[in-house]
Chains A and B, each alone.
Chain A
């Protein structure tokens, strides 16, 4: 018993470490790229076609909430463009049925936080700062932790308000 004790201890330690790492990874939740109802490709639209973010996401600079573009905006191009692609056909299906698309939300803040998108855009924060380079993301995934400390440290460095009620509602 006595002889094996150090071995047992070491094994236990390593086990605990692994457990922590695994759980921590799951807990952090960054990096998850959920499957979307339509496999919209940012590399094609933002990358190859060179569309500006605000071409589609039109309300980000005038609304506290960022939104996905309405189906009608997609149809402006896809009335005729790439109609042979299966994903575009899915899109056209939504339009024909006049059905809104239920996208899986990637960037989600908890109930107690209020985030004013418009203010951040007007302050000159680039989209990629929080959302990463969308041109390189086949599927949109969360690239920042969105944890409070991350927000606060940026606010502190840019002299943005750090009053609790700026963000807590």
Chain B
């Protein structure tokens, strides 16, 4: 063929068609207001004050709302309980409001045992009918209630002839209250002023995890750090609290009375104990105490000396220390020590005590159990119960009531078999208040009208009282003069009429013999950081975030020491069969290097129905159980354990003071470092802002509140256990527990380090990631084509890829932060230093014609941290906190040897004897 013909033919190939986008309607709606809301600016978040109700601590929160949808909870700065911080469960509680499994309408039980949705009129009519026909007693059984609702329930019970049963609470601190009652006539849990103590001795109480008011204690711990408080924590197992104390002492389970008895005699009393009481205290020698507790004599003498030399000590016992057979005795001895060393009225505050008066101990339900079994109860109304496994007699007797009305948001086990279910609104949908501590009242204000056909408990009760009020009006009347302050501020501190108690003369401790602690292996039942007593198990986010001690996400497990695992010939994930007190438990194992041999830890909500034996005197379930036998079953369970190893980081430049660094890690560059990193590139110049983060590892307790905050702020997807097993968790921020060479456990939060010489930026083919002008490593989601080279090249492996499209089943999609994209499949994502907050902060500052001030806004993780371990700010601002922290001799950066020049500084003090 001729050349010409050939060329003509080539023309055929050149015609191309442009494919238009598939015919989606390009026009979305723009909906106008009818009448605009005052003060609301569209596109800007409104802040509503409220209180978190995920546990009973009563932390004050600000709810961030956009277009009437709450999308983030933040701690309320200045609040007397939490002062701006919010724990992992508090952050996740937003998902409780929008949980797809919430009960959406009243339900009536049919003859077949199924539930059928009915209207409120019908449900209430059924209840009224049951009440009129009941012919028996009527009982109101609720979980711990404080504030106006407690008063309303009292009024309701009076008006409608209900008996008010003691309140049900798994962690009822019965022993502490028993001791308080026996010695001081105050059956309450005192408030502990940790921050004021120069020497703190805590036995067993997981102050920073679930004990009474963990966020408050964490805040106090942070404050106490400035004062160089000596904190001794004694525990038989391993907890985040113990890890964070200045000295963690591993004590034999249930042996605390020996130590306390010895201390009572060894430390000179500052307030006299009555002779009878002093004589009743068991005489224990130092050697005996040392032998029984397993602590060296030098150590217990150090404790004695510290207490002796202290000016304002605090000693408290709680949690696991009171969970053995010697529980009540330990509490009593601790209270005696508190009296003896003049802590009562100073660091042990009975005036502004925690509100636990109405909570019942196991023994307090005996009457109700009998009445139920004898069919004396006509109508039983239960409200806000989560499980009754700790009072099995009550749990099993519930069906004895002729008619049961259940008030709840989820179908927790106690509600199985209820005749009518009345769904409760979430605290974010209701008006209410709480008084977690005597004299501290915290406001609960609704963000919008209830999402589903639910009512608040106050409204339900008022309806049944037929007085035409709604709960809002009731509250206003009850608040009276404090109402204005409460609505403006979100909380109020009221005067209290309570006084400091005195030791009741002639009140000998009723139990004087120390029972023998378990000899050999023990099962230690501990509260769960993530689920409290199990009530927060319904929140999937709390399963998605790994437990910081075991690094396990979904599933149940027991924690075992490394030595025991070797003896048993068992490894992580293999099942262990434990026999205790005639019952058994079969769970996969996770080893922990800091757990002492002979202790097996299991969470309260992972007991899988194991019936716990009872304390002989109090009837409370025991938490220290001798293990009769244990053996590996040979089964392997695929537990999603976060990959990695506790000890693998040694020598890698991740742990503090682990490798020689090239000179101190200085940020800000106003003077040359000793060994500046060698580079061919000119130094980067920053003009107005250079964002950086500092993380104080001496403050980080590993509670993972920051992780939860990040998940919610940034629309991070929850992927589920199957994806976790292959490592596809989407967490932008992870807590890495590392064991250092000198035996310290560090919890290192790792997120995108925003490296100046980021390895990820050079390799992205499409410029989806690049270095911004303010020091941020910026990921542009829409540009990403998903080659994943950036993730491969990141030495910190903080980049997460969207392997699938993620769903937020309705109504969880209302929780999505509108300022942050929802990433489609195939796109890489990572920590952005909350760029949406930076953008808004700069926008706000620009409106006022100035630079951003230090502390004006911060990242979600820094904001939520209970100990204030994370600091965010502008390194170019010499007066900022971040600048000071970056210059600190404690500062270092992860994997500095690679030369990435991260913008995240980690701080940790070098131990002298390390």
Cβ-based interface call for A64 (8 A) = yes
Whether the Cβ atoms of A119 and B846 lie closer than 8 Å is: yes
Contact yes or no, A71 B35, CB < 8 A? yes
Contacting residues, chain A, for B821 (C-beta < 8 A):
111-112, 169
Q: How many residues of A are in contact with the other chain, CB < 8 A?
A: 56
- By a CB distance below 8 angstroms, the chain B residues around A6 are 8
Question: In the complex, which residues of chain B have a beta carbon less than 8 angstroms from the beta carbon of A102?
Answer: 29-31
Residues in A whose Cβ lies below 8 Å from that of B29 = 102-105
Find out whether the CB atom of B26 lies under 8 angstroms from the CB atom of A70.
no
List B contacts of A62 (CB < 8 A). 41
Please name 9 further chain A to chain B contacts, defined as beta carbons within 8 Å, in addition to the given A101-B32, A168-B781, sorted by A numbering: A20-B17, A23-B20, A67-B32, A98-B34, A105-B28, A105-B30, A122-B847, A164-B783, A165-B776
CB distance from A62 to the nearest CB of B (A): 6
Give the docked Cα–Cα distance between A69 and B31 (Å).
9
Q: B20 near A27 (CB under 8 angstroms)? A: yes
**B interface residue numbers (CB < 8 A to A):** 5, 8, 11-12, 15-21, 26-36, 41-44, 770, 772-774, 776, 778, 780-783, 819-822, 832, 835-836, 839, 843, 846-847
Contact flag A165-B780 (CB < 8 Å), given A103-B32, A111-B821: yes
**CB–CB A63/B43 < 8 A:** yes
A16 within 8 Å of B by Cβ? yes
Task: Decide if A108 is an interface residue (CB 8 Å cutoff).
Answer: yes
Question: How far does the Cβ of A147 sit from chain B's closest Cβ, in whole Å?
Answer: 13
Also in contact, A116 and B843, with CB within 8 A (given A62-B41, A70-B32): yes
**Closest residue on chain A to residue B768 by CB atoms:** A164
Give the contacting residue for A163; candidates B16, B28, B35, B778; CB below 8 A. Answer: B778
Could you say which of A104, A119, A161, A164 has the most chain B C-beta atoms within 10 Å of its C-beta?
A164
Q: A105's contact among B11, B17, B20, B27, by CB below 8 Å, is which?
A: B27
Give, as a whole number of angstroms, the nearest-CB distance from A166 to chain B. 8
Instruction: Report which of B20, B33, B778, B822 forms a contact with A70, defined as CB distance below 8 A.
Output: B33
Give the chain B neighbours of A98 by CB distance below 8 A.
Answer: 34
A16, A27, A69: the one within 8 Å of B15 (CB): A16
Q: A106 near B835 (CB under 8 angstroms)? A: no
**Closest residue of B by beta carbon distance from A64:** B43
Q: With A23-B18, A119-B846, A165-B780 in contact, is A95–B34 under 8 Å at CB?
A: yes
**Interface: A59 (CB within 8 A):** yes
Interface residues of A (CB under 8 A from B): 5-6, 9, 12-13, 15-16, 19-20, 23-24, 26-27, 29, 32, 34, 59, 62-65, 67-72, 94-95, 98-106, 108, 110-114, 116-119, 122, 161, 163-166, 168-169
Q: Are A59 and B34 in contact (CB under 8 A)?
A: no
CA distance A70 to B42 in the complex (A): 12
Q: Which of chain A's residues has its CB closest to B770's CB?
A: A164
- Which residue of chain A has the shortest Cβ distance to B820 in the bound complex? A169
B773 near A163 (CB under 8 angstroms)? Answer: yes
Q: Identify which of A26, A94, A169 contacts B819 (C-beta below 8 A).
A: A169
17 inter-chain pairs at a CB distance below 8 angstroms, sorted by A residue, are A5-B5, A13-B15, A16-B16, A23-B18, A32-B26, A63-B41, A63-B42, A70-B33, A72-B33, A100-B32, A100-B33, A100-B34, A103-B29, A105-B30, A116-B839, A164-B783, A166-B839
Q: Do B778 and A103 have beta carbons less than 8 Å apart?
A: no
Contact A59 B30 (CB under 8 A): no
User: Inside 8 A of A68's CB, which chain B residues have their CB?
Assistant: 30, 32
Assuming the contacts A24-B18, A104-B29, asked whether A64 and B44 have C-beta atoms less than 8 A apart, the reply is yes
Smallest CB separation, A31 vs chain B (Å):
12
Q: A64-B843, A99-B34 are in contact. Are A5 and B26 (CB under 8 A)?
A: no
Q: Which residues of A contact B16 (CB under 8 A)?
A: 16, 20
Contact for B42 among A5, A67, A71, CB less than 8 A: A67
B828 → chain A closest CB, angstroms: 13
Closest residue of B by beta carbon distance from A28: B20
